[in-house]
Amino acid sequence: MTATRLRPMVLGDLTGVLALERELFPDDPWTEEMFTEEVAMPPGSRLYLVAEAAVPEGDGHALAGYAGMLFTPGGGQADVLTIAVAPPCWGRGIGSALLGALVQAARDHDCGEVFLEVREDNPRARGLYLRRGFEEIGVRRGYYQPSGADAIVMRKDLLR
């Protein structure tokens, strides 16, 4: 397993994040403006993390993934807004680490539940969420635009 570290996303990460976003989500990537606005939000309302994996050839780390969460004003619930892992890093537990950090942050914010939407045609992500205790509770037809792909709505109860 490659050494991985998680840290808060900063504006300087956006070049790498946007490149990975366009690679993984070519039909509906977030824009630079979207990420810039989200990362600039007050810390109590959002959490954005990057995962860095050790580079085998040296002492450095490279972007391996990122994730973001919205904490609902007034508390009670949180929403996973995005989570992505670079394809060369798939299967190394990075997505699970990012998701685990988001869920822990939701607990730390006294949230009782976490929601997310995942593309119906993304079995890798759906499997991760199911393994981490999320349940499928609904479908949003045509949610992802402009592709028109359906989203599976998932929920994790943090009070159980």
What ranges do the domains of the chain cover?
A: 4-112
pLDDT band at 94 (very low <50, low <70, confident <90, very high): very high
DSSP state of 11: G
- Which architecture does CATH list for 4-112? 3-Layer(aba) Sandwich (3.40)
pLDDT at 59: 61
Over residues 66-79, the mean pLDDT reads 92
Q: Residue 2 pLDDT more than 70? A: no
At 50-63, the pLDDT tens digits run 999 876 666 667 89
Positive or negative, the CA dihedral 41, 42, 43, 46 is negative
d(CA 87, CA 65): 9
pTM above 0.75, yes or no: yes
Structure tokens at 156: 């994790």
Over residues 87-114, the mean pLDDT reads 95
Q: Which residue stretches of 5-122 are H helix?
A: 14-24, 32-39, 94-108
